[in-house]
Structures are given as C-alpha cells and as structure tokens.
A and B are shown apart, each in its own frame.
Chain A
Amino acid sequence: MSDLLAARSQMAISLAFHIIFAIVGIGMPALMVIAEQRWRKTGDGICLDLAKRWARGTAIMFAVGAVSGTVLSFELGLLWPRFMQYAGGIIGMPFSLEGFAFFTEAIFLGVYLYGWNRIGPRAHLAAGVLVAISGALSAIFVVDANAWMNTPAGFRLEHGQIVDVHPLAAMANPAALAETLHMTLAAYASLGMAVAGLHAFLLLRQPTNGFHKRALILALLVGAPAAVLQPISGDIAGRAVADTQPVKLAAMEGEFKTQARAPLRLGGIPDPRAHETRWAIEIPGGLSLIAYHDFNATVRGLDDFPEDRWPPVVIVHLAFQVMVGLGTLLAVIGVWALWDLVRRREFSKRLLIALSIATPLGFICVEAGWTVTEVGRQPWIVTGILRTADAVTPMPGLIVPFVTFSVLYLFLGVIVAYLLYQQVLRSPHPVD
C-alpha cells in the first residue's frame, strides 16, 4: 500500500467513523427535546424516560464524537500538511464557527444532563433546544468547509498562490447550500429511521410494549419527514454538481460520452477501459432531465476530460447507486409509516418488519454519499487547484497509523454499540 493510499484510507476511515457520531449528535437531541416536550405536556412517564435515555445516548455519542472530531482536526494536518498550508486560512473560518457551535452544544448538553432537578422546566427544555440547534449548526459549518474543497471560491490565484481571500465569500461557495441542506436532512432521516427501526424490531418481539411503541412514534416524527424530503434536496444537490463539477457527475452516472438526451442509468458497472457502462437499466433522457430539468440538455461525459482528471469511476458510480437506491427505499418506507401513523394510529406488522429492515439504511446512505462526494473529487483535494498527491505528508510508513487507528475505531465502535443497547434501547420493563 502506498503512503498516499494509506493516508487516504486513514482519512476515509476516520471520517466514516466520525460521521456516525456526528449524525447522532445532530439527530438525537431533536428526539430528546420532542420527548421532553411531550412529557411536559402530557405527563406521560414513558416520554420522560425516553428523554432521559436519549439524553444519555446523546452524551455517549457526543463524547466519542468529540474525540473523533478532535482526531480529524489533527489529521487534516498530520496527513495533509500541504493542503492545510495552502487552504487552512480559508477553511479556518467555518471550522472556527464550528468550534463555537460545538462548544455551545457541549455546555448546554452539560446543563441538560445535570440540570433535571436544578433548573426550571422551561430553562431545561430551552437548553435541550440549544443542544439540538448548535448540533445542527456545527455539522453545517463542517460540511461548508467540505463544500469549499469541492467548489473553491472567495479568492484569486496568482502564480499558483491563493491571494485576496474573502472568508465569507469562500463560505458562500456554489456547493455550500446544496451540500449542507442534503447532509442536515440526511442526519435527521438516518438517525430518526434507525431509532424507529430498532424499536420496531423490539416491538415485533413484544407487541404490547408501550415503551417501544412510544419511542417508535417519536422517532418517526423526526425521521420520516426528513426521509421523505431528502430526495428533493438530493435533486438540488445533483443540479449543483452538474453545474460545478461535471466530471464528478459523469462518474456518478457512469456517463462516458457527451450527449444530449443523456439516459439515467440504474445500476450497471462502468468499465473505464472500454469507456462504457454495462448492465445498467437506462431511462432515455432521464439524466438530462434530472441534471438540467430538460429532456434534451447535453450532459458532458468523462471522455470530455483528460483521463488523469477522472476520479475512480467504478467506486463513485456504485456508491451513488447505493445512496440513491437505498435513499429512495427509505423515503417510501417513510411515507408508508407516516400514512399509518396519521390514518390508523397503529402499525401493521408488515410496516414494523419493513422499518426494522430499514434500520441501517440511512447510515449506509450517508457513508455512500460521502464516498461519492470525496472519491468523486479525486484526484483533487481542492477541485482544480491542489492535487491530493501533492498535499500528503512526506512522513514515510503511513500504513502504521492507518492500521492503528482502524483497530482503535473498531474497538470503540463495538463498545459504543454495547453501551447504547444497555443505556438507551433496552426496555425498562423486560415484559410489559
């Protein structure tokens, strides 16, 4: 394994690990606040219990997310010092704001966790709301920094050097809105649907358990609407990619030839050597319609660009198919669940089975989506400006930290899963 590949792998595994905790840090405070609000209004003890459990879940995940986030902020320099030297000043702005949002979240999470009997009900609920808001904001700022890497803006290039930097213009880069919207919704959708799915599974085993039923309803209130809205934000993101990163779009779609009325491909495996994508179901004009809202629009294919600027086409295309496929499935299940909830106030067994199966789907979508946006940007670390290979540290033997951190993350992941089961999921009364 080359040092570059080791560095990329270490970054990938760190991000893949951290994103799970980030999602919970965004989504779970929303659940906790809704549960507390229900309890304050109805006096339902189950809601209070759920609020406390979800607060504990937030605390565990926040703690691990905080350390894995710290690791990432160091790794940016440890693995990509030349990227940071080049761009640190620009992406520093969103990162600073993220730091403050994160700090605010930490403070009010402390108030929330330890303040149940120490502050008034309104103040306590407000603290929870602040945790939820600052959690979402910190994700938005970090994703904004990533959006800048995809569509750099807010500076001029002079002899290869970045000059004339406008930090706010850099934050308002072309991909910023689409990416942050897509990721924020993704966090609510995947966390909400995952919690709903786990309780749906437990409800199947104990159909009369009121605890799991209440938990399921509250989780759906967060997860299902987000899952249903997500395809719309996906459309916005897709058009932004078409406008600003045509190579990435071509790789996502496995589109080699530039053509009008470009087809939308479902599935299929691109063959970069033969310059074609095989075994895909093609919907004529579908890609033109989605990318430009026009059946006859011309979509640029990979052949329009030199091959040394292609990302790894197979990975990007497959990851994109996974994200879109599973995301659509999740949206359908979301509609179904909302329908049952509103119309019948009861859940059919078939829905519960579908929800349980869908438990990990949101998280898989998020991982696949990040694979699309990160691998799809290669060979660049900053699109069109700095190549990943030029940004990596000269330190030899990078496979050692890669393996070390992989083992560490695996170990932490297993323990967190066990703790979450113990502290959050398990019903307080084994047989209700």
Chain B
Amino acid sequence: MQIIVAGIAGIALTAYVLMGGADYGGGVWDLLASGPRRAQQRELIAHAIGPIWEANHVWLILIVVLLFTCFPPAFAQLSTVLHIPLTLLLIGIVLRGSAFTFRAYDATHSAVQERWGMIFAIASVLAPVLLGVIVGAIASNGVGNAAATLAESGVEFVPVFVAPWLNAFTLSVGAMTLVLVAFLAATYLTVEAAADRALQDDFRRRAIAAALVLPVIAYGTLLAAEPLAPRVQKMLLHSAVAGPIHLAAMIAGLGAVLALWARRFKLARVAAGGLVVLIIWGWLFAQFPFLIPPTLTIFDAAAPPAILRAFIIAIAVGAGVLIPSLWYLYGVFRRSSG
C-alpha cells in the first residue's frame, strides 16, 4: 500500500511537471520573447496557459496533501529543513498566479500590463529553479542529513537551513529543471502555433536550442554530483536501471530534436513528454525505497494502514469525478478551436 501511495505521488509529480512545468516554461519564453513577432509570441503563450492554469496548479497541492497525509514525518522533515527555498517558491507561485490573472483582467493600461507581465515572467523563471533545487536537496541526502543534525545537535542555522539546498549540485539541478520546462513549453507551443508558420518557427528554434543546452547542463550536474552528491552520481552511472534509462532518455531527447527539425510537431511533443517522464521516474527509481535518503524510506515514513487505505479510496472516488470533468473541459475547448 505504501508503494501505491508513493506511486500516486510520482504520477502527480509527473503530471505537475508535464503540465504545470510547461506553464512555467511558457513564462520563461514570455520573458525571452524577442524578434519581430514578440507580441504574438506573448499572446500565444497567454492563450495556451489561459483556461487551465488553476487546474494544473492543483497537482502541486495534491503532492503536498499526499505527503502530509500518508508520509507525515517526511513532510515534517522537508518543510523544516527546506523552509527557505519552499518559502521562496511560494512567493514565486503567488506572484506568478496573481500577476497572470491581473494581467488578463486589468484591461486598461498597456504599461501596467507590461509590468504584470514582467513579474509573471520573472516568477516563472524562479519557480522551476527552486523546484529543481528542492529535488536536488532531497536526492543529495542534504535534507536527510540536516534533519539528523537537527535531531542530534539542535539548531545550527547554516548547516541545517541553508547548506542542504544551496550548493553547486542543487543549483545545477535547478538550472536543468529550468531548461527542461523551457524545452517542454517551446515544444508544446509549436503545436499550439499551428495556424502561424512564422510563429511556429520561432518556437521550433527555441525548443531545439533548449534541447541542445540540456545535455550540457546534465553533464555539469553530474560533475557537481561527484563531491556533493556521490550517491546520486554512483546511481546515475552504475545502477542496474541506469543504462536502459539513459538510453531511453537519449532516444527521447534526440527523437524530439529530430521531430522538431522535421516539423513533426505532435511527435516532438510526445517525445519531449517522454523525456520528462524518464527523467522523473529515473530519479524516483534510483532513490527507491527512500523518500528522504539516506535514512527515511517510504515504509518508515508511512502513516498507519487505515489512513493509507482511506486516502487511496478518496483518490479513487475523486478521480472518478475529476477525470470525466477534465475530459469534458478539454472537449469544450477542442470543439471551439476547431
């Protein structure tokens, strides 16, 4: 049952990165909008995010609720040690969501709208970096070790509350996350821009550029992992699943670039999504059964079975309501764009 719940968390995380991450990436391209079609680029991004951003956001809430319901000690450790990056992430999310809405509804002055756009875009860059930093801090044992330090020798500000998440490894995971969501968003946007070939080409170029930066940063992350997260590096290079996952990721990444090159945009979208799925599940498998390495596994951290059972039932019932609803929502929009 612990594995089922952890699996739900993994699915929610994947959905959040695939959909919410693409929204962040949209904000990145909003910030970097340039060239003669600058305004159209922004318009397309706003249009693509418009109707569904609140819905995408809920994946994050699901992850938080799942963590504190099913793995309370893990949630307590994470929110204690990662207080600062989580708070910064929250501020980013608040500013981003509000600025996007305000920009859409404040129809009066274009100068004001521009300023909202700026806040929206900057927050969109910060949020995925922080998400990556948080993942990096967990994967590198930073959170687990800091929690142990806290329990043994009490509060020491820098070692417990700063060092676990602020180092070259976590920052490079942050950078990688940023480029990944930017790549994802640009690839999605090539599909959205089907009506305008020039605009489509803008995002095609951007997607390819991001895809080419990705392996560079991934290599940098691997280098940073050597001193700072040796266990991660070892697993990335030597674990049994590492080979196949690397190979599959490489195929997905290369496939996405080739598909973009060949203007097979829908195929590129699938490949890009596949790449993200492989990266996330690669990480999750690599640290299984640990929730917060090096000590806390999903079995140690799990709430009593009665709670897990109730949660799984609630999720099933909820999904029974939500999946048809979501399907209906997308149906309504598809009908209109046709």
Contacts and interface: CB of A to CB of B under 8 A. Distances in A.
Contacts of A163: 304
Contacts of A405: 91
Contacts of A166: 306
Contacts of A401: 83, 87
Contacts of B237: none
A87 B307 CA distance: 11
B68 A76 contact: yes
Contacts of A103: 55, 58, 318, 322
Interface in B276-321: 303-304, 306-307, 310-311, 314-315, 317-318, 321
Contacts of A60: 101, 105
Given A100-B318, A419-B106, A394 B80 contact: yes
A104 B321 contact: yes
Interface in A92-143: 92-93, 95-97, 99-100, 102-104, 106-111, 113-115, 117-119
A67 B95 CA distance: 9
A78 B87 contact: yes
Contacts of B62: 99
Given A419-B102, A422-B106, A74 B97 contact: no
Contacts of B94: 67-68, 70-71, 408, 412
A93 B69 contact: yes
Contact of B58 (A86, A90, A99): A99
A62 B106 contact: no
Given A92-B69, A412-B98, A62 B311 contact: no
A242 B258 CA distance: 71
A63 B56 CA distance: 12
Interface residues of B, number: 65
Contacts of B73: 85
B236 to A, nearest CB: 29
Interface stretch (B21-29, B163-171, B207-215, B325-333): B325-333
B223 interface: no
A84 interface: yes
B155 interface: yes
A66 B57 CA distance: 9
Contacts, number: 207
Contacts of A284: none
Nearest to B79: A77
B110 interface: no
A394 B150 contact: yes
Given A59-B101, A77-B76, A167 B310 contact: yes
Interface residues of A, number: 69
B150 to A, nearest CB: 6
B54 A62 contact: yes
B83 A110 contact: no
B90 interface: yes
A324 B158 CA distance: 48
A338 interface: no
B72 A78 contact: no
A378 to B, nearest CB: 22
Given A88-B69, A111-B328, A419-B106, A74 B335 contact: no
B194 interface: no
B76 A111 contact: no
B206 to A, nearest CB: 27
Contacts of B186: none
Interface string B84-116: 001100110111011011100111100000000
B329 A84 contact: no
11 contacts: A64-B97, A68-B94, A84-B68, A84-B79, A85-B76, A88-B69, A95-B65, A100-B317, A103-B58, A396-B157, A415-B98
Given A96-B66, A394-B150, A397-B157, 19 more contacts: A63-B54, A63-B98, A64-B101, A67-B98, A71-B93, A74-B64, A77-B79, A84-B75, A85-B73, A88-B72, A92-B311, A99-B61, A103-B318, A106-B54, A118-B336, A394-B154, A408-B91, A415-B102, A422-B106
Interface of A: 56, 59-60, 62-64, 66-71, 73-78, 81-82, 84-90, 92-93, 95-97, 99-100, 102-104, 106-111, 113-115, 117-119, 163-168, 393-397, 401, 404-405, 408, 412, 415, 419, 422-423
Interface of B: 51-52, 54-55, 57-58, 60-62, 64-66, 68-70, 72-73, 75-80, 83, 86-87, 90-91, 93-95, 97-98, 100-102, 105-108, 150, 154-155, 157, 161, 303-304, 306-307, 310-311, 314-315, 317-318, 321-322, 325-326, 328-329, 332-333, 335-336
